[in-house]
Structure 1
Amino acid sequence: MNLGGKESEVVSKDCVPSSFAVFCLVMTIWTMIAPGKAQVRGVYPLGMTATNSGVTPEPGFTYSNAFLFYSRDHLKGANGEVVATGQNSVLMDMNSFVWVSKKKIGMLGSPVYSFVATLPIANNSLTSNAQGAISGGGGFADSYYQPFILGWKTKRVDARAIYGFLAPTGRFDASSNSNVGSGYWTHCVAGGESFYLTDNKATSISAFELYEFHGVQEGTGIHPGQALNLDYSLMHTVPLKSDLRLQLGLVGYQQWQTTDKSGPTITPDQAKAHYRVNSLGFASNVMLPARKVSLGLKYFREFSNRSTLQGYSLQISAAVSF
């Protein structure tokens, strides 16, 4: 929901289970009222890499499908005040394909190489309490590619270094209110770490950091501000049976706009209105290692946001390795 301009929302998926937490999945959903007036989110799907952030899957091919639902009902001002109400919802079906090499690279600490391609289908809608239905759209959205992922594994720490880019493959028209694409390229650099507090790796603290370098939007000349993202979690794994593990814990995320937005229609006040997002929630993963199958659930509730929308997110995923 954006009652004064345009929302840029990327939603991706971190395949929740440890067997597929290799990548940050990114796709863009734009709810558009007046092109280029207000940027209220970055492109990273907040929270999607909160668990098992440093884990690289086993060598081979993995397919993941994620169902993502984002709902927001308040637009917050620069001081956290509510400036508009309504309903913004984003529904996505994410199809991700991951390949992990069997061989380690003979330098830089002998990491493992992998890459990911994510092809999303999305549907979004925006309704104002004062104006009724405003915008909506559905179809193939912006695709995300991570051609360079290096993963390290030690006794107490797993880590990953990532480069990826978001391609504007989704439908975008600056004069339309039914867009499902962003209309610009985004380059991302990221790092993920999982620290194990016990020798059996049952208890872990994970963190994921991602920085967004946005391009200029086609048709509007708007250059969105860059953004820094942080996901984190505290998780504990319980073995239920010989081939069944349950992982439970607390999760959270934060996002900061780090530079001013700019463009021919951006006012000085809009340029300086940097958004900030905060959230806490819980997560659970069910893993069947022998079958190479995993299922995951995450729930996040946002709070104390600034210059952006506020609501909650429900994320359900499943992954299988071959």
Structure 2
Amino acid sequence: MKRVKNINQGKEKDLSFLDGKCAQKVRSRTLKRSIFLFFLFGALMVFSIADLKAQVVSPFQGGHYTTGLKNIRDMANPPSGLFVLWYNSSFSSNTYVDRNGDKFKSIKLDQFHPKLPNINVDIDLNGFTTIPAIFWASEFKILGGANFMAGISPSYMSVDASLITERNGIVIDTVYTNISKSKVSGFSDTFFAPVGLSWDKEKIDFTFLYGFYAPTGKYETGSSDGLGLGFWTHQFQGFGYFYPTADKSTAILLGLTYEANSKIKDAEVTPGNRFSLEWGLSQYLSERLEVGVMGGHNWQVSDDKGEQVYWDPTFHDKKNTIAFNAGYWLWSNRLMANLKYTTDYGARQRFEMNSWLLNFVFVTNAFTGKSSK
């Protein structure tokens, strides 16, 4: 078939059966929707994007917390002193799932006129995130034998997205193609954890962590190049571990996370709160080699609120993740590398991502509170 890259010419031919006033109205509405849909997928992963014309907040709000990012045993009772958890994720997606569970493949134009053909859409989203987390855990015990801990975790990301729209014209032998691209990179929002408590029992560990995300990443309502979400989040977490064997070579994880969100900067919108459930099974095959499987489930659990909420707030998005990992202590009990693959499923109004992660755990043995000999 003949391929024409001038999308504007294509529209003139396709709209030739309409009168001038009606054709102009359809062009305007189609352009606005195409612009909105292009910036949609960046919003769902790392930042909120608004329709550039209307300068309003996007209805597609995600949360700060990402299930499946951590190593399985990261929230077990920590070593005393300063330690570093460094997460590195390379992710990609070509699938956006709408609220009905259908993959987004086309822009429907027949709602404007029954003779208008649909626009086929191909999505290509790629990115990289690096998140160093620096924590300190006490040697002393409080509140019935708990170690106290606190930490900070900045994040840097780069996201490259493209949208290819291809429309079959009224003229059968003609296809109109348009390619749009967007790439942004920089520091995103920062996580602060001022209060952590971890209890270590014979067969059970339990860790509670309170933290908050500060909107330090670039964000402006209506902008297309944001890297932060534009709002504060208070995060409450509880992680429990059960060790069936005396040497703790096997660990079973159950983790709960609750996110309470504030109002978006310069907008009368407060995104709904979120709840996550994570589970995992970790098994050491030797003193240094660990393998595991981990699952994560994330739900929006309250309505979006505010005067500028123009969408249906009663619909709540969700996404599930499963991960497989293998870790090895490069330096015994001091430095571990963990390779992980994660994939999403069962999403609603979210991207389904595939990710490769290379995570590191480094126990520095600094600031342990122990006197040197």
**Which bin holds the TM-score, normalised by the shorter protein?**
0.7 to 0.9
Of Structure 1 and Structure 2, the greater helix share is in 2
- CA gap 1:204/1:312 in 2 versus in 1, 3 angstroms: same
Task: Supply the distance in 1 between the matched residues of 2:218 and 2:311 (Cα, whole angstroms).
Answer: 29
- CA gap 1:291/1:278 in 2 versus in 1, 3 angstroms: closer
Structure 1 gap ranges (5+): 11-28
Aligned length: 297
Aligned to 1:262: 305
For 1:45, the aligned partner's letter is T
1:209-266 CA distances to partner (integer Å, 9 max, x unpaired)? Answer: 1110011111222211111011211121011xxxx51111211111001011133443
Aligned to 1:70: 91
Aligned to 1:115: 150
Structure 1 position 136 matched with structure 2 position 157: no
Secondary structure, counterpart of 1:273 in structure 2: coil
Aligned to 1:22: none
Confirm or deny: 8 A CA contact 1:116 1:147 kept in the other structure. yes
- CA gap 1:8/1:61 in 2 versus in 1, 3 angstroms: farther
1:102-145 CA distances to partner (integer Å, 9 max, x unpaired)? Answer: 1011x3x2200001101211112332232533533211211101
Aligned to 1:93: 130
1:142-168 CA distances to partner (integer Å, 9 max, x unpaired)? Answer: 110101000011111111001000001
Q: Percent identical across equivalent pairs?
A: 22
Secondary structure, counterpart of 2:104 in structure 1: strand
- CA gap 1:194/1:133 in 2 versus in 1, 3 angstroms: farther
* Aligned partner of 1:175 among 222, 235, 240: 222
Secondary structure, counterpart of 1:86 in structure 2: strand
Q: Please tell me whether Structure 1 or Structure 2 has the larger radius of gyration of its CA atoms.
A: 2
* Aligned partner of 1:149 among 189, 192, 196: 196
Of Structure 1 and Structure 2, the greater strand share is in 1
Aligned to 1:24: none
Structure 1 position 30 matched with structure 2 position 72: no
Aligned to 2:24: none
Task: Supply the distance in 2 between the matched residues of 1:215 and 1:2 (Cα, whole angstroms).
Answer: 26
Structure 1 length-normalised TM = 0.85
Task: Supply the distance in 2 between the matched residues of 1:75 and 1:98 (Cα, whole angstroms).
Answer: 35
* Aligned partner of 1:309 among 348, 351, 354: 351
Structure 2 length-normalised TM = 0.74
- CA gap 1:301/1:264 in 2 versus in 1, 3 angstroms: same
Confirm or deny: 8 A CA contact 2:38 2:180 kept in the other structure. no
Task: Supply the distance in 1 between the matched residues of 2:251 and 2:348 (Cα, whole angstroms).
Answer: 30
Secondary structure, counterpart of 1:304 in structure 2: strand
Secondary structure, counterpart of 1:30 in structure 2: coil
* Aligned partner of 1:126 among 158, 161, 174: 161
- CA gap 1:204/1:291 in 2 versus in 1, 3 angstroms: closer
Secondary structure, counterpart of 1:129 in structure 2: strand
- Cα-Cα RMSD: 2.2
| C-alpha deviation, 1:6, in angstroms | 6.7
Aligned to 2:294: 251
Confirm or deny: 8 A CA contact 1:255 1:277 kept in the other structure. yes
Aligned to 1:227: 274
Confirm or deny: 8 A CA contact 2:71 2:359 kept in the other structure. no
| C-alpha deviation, 1:208, in angstroms | 1.5
| C-alpha deviation, 1:8, in angstroms | 5.3
Confirm or deny: 8 A CA contact 2:343 2:355 kept in the other structure. yes
Confirm or deny: 8 A CA contact 2:39 2:224 kept in the other structure. no
| C-alpha deviation, 1:67, in angstroms | 1.1
Task: Supply the distance in 1 between the matched residues of 2:85 and 2:153 (Cα, whole angstroms).
Answer: 9
Secondary structure, counterpart of 2:320 in structure 1: strand
